[in-house]
Structure formats: structure tokens, C-alpha cells
Amino acid sequence: MDRSEMVAASQPEAVRTALAAGAEELGHAGHAHGGADLSSLREAEYQGRHIRVRTTYEITVDGREFAVHLTVDNNGRVHYHGLPTRDFASVIGLVQRVIDQFPDDFPVEPTPSADPGHSHHHGGGD
């Protein structure tokens, strides 16, 4: 996307149009889709043939499920309704950006520390 396309896509009317087009997906923003179909469907016509590609993603962050509905367009760009005015070249790039944008949703688990009762720095037998 070049700068002029980005500027045009970020205008209020363009954003409203994009949001209206994805209103059903936006209704699910902010919560897991327990048991829902999280696949992305792409379709195209080619030489009189109808092509359907269904892609399903299972995403975890620190072992916890990140159950969001992603879509992938026919150019391979990835979209997420939580960031409706952005697209990404990869699912990893999208998840990285979501972590950056919503850090409170991805708390860092504390690293287990050594047991303070067992020092490894003493100099000899007790």
C-alpha cells in the first residue's frame, strides 16, 4: 500500500465504510470464539472454475489460546477486526502488532527464580 492509498483508507468515510462492511466480525471483537469456526475463506473464479481455499489458524501466545477471527485476502494479506484499518503480510506480524497495541491482554508471566533457601554460592560442606 503506498502513502496515497493509506491516506485515502484512513479517512473517516473510508473507515466507516470498512467498518460497516465488517460489522458482523466487529460484533465479535474482544472475546474468544469458543468452539466457533475460526477459518478464513477465499474464493476466486479462474478459467471457468470456482476455487475455494479455507484456511484455519490455531494461534497461541505463551501457551494461551489467541482465538480471533482472521481473514486472508486473495493477495495473501492478513486482516484482523481488532485492527480494522491495517493488513499484514503474515499472521506472525499481525500477532506481534496486536501484542504491541494491547499489551494488557498479554501479561508476561514471571520467570521462576531459584529457591532462596538453596544457595549455590556457598564455599564448602555444611
Q: Please give the Cα distance from 76 to 60 (Å, whole number).
A: 21
Mean pLDDT, the chain, whole residue set: 74
- Per-residue pLDDT for 121 more than 70? no
What domain range includes position 48? Answer: 3-105
> Residue 117's pLDDT is what?
54
Tell me the mean pLDDT in the region 100-126.
65
**pLDDT tens sequence across 21-74:** 655 444 444 434 445 566 788 899 989 999 998 888 888 999 999 888 888 888
Residue 31 lies in a domain: yes
Cβ within 8 Å of residue 71, ≥6 positions away: 25, 40, 78, 79, 80
**Does residue 53 lie in a domain region?**
yes
61, containing H or E segment: strand 60-61
Total-model pTM: 0.52
- Asked if the structure places residue 7 within a domain, the reply is yes
In a domain, 36, yes or no: yes
Residue 52 belongs to some domain of the structure = yes
Left (φ > 0), alpha (ψ -120 to 50) or beta: where does 60 sit? beta
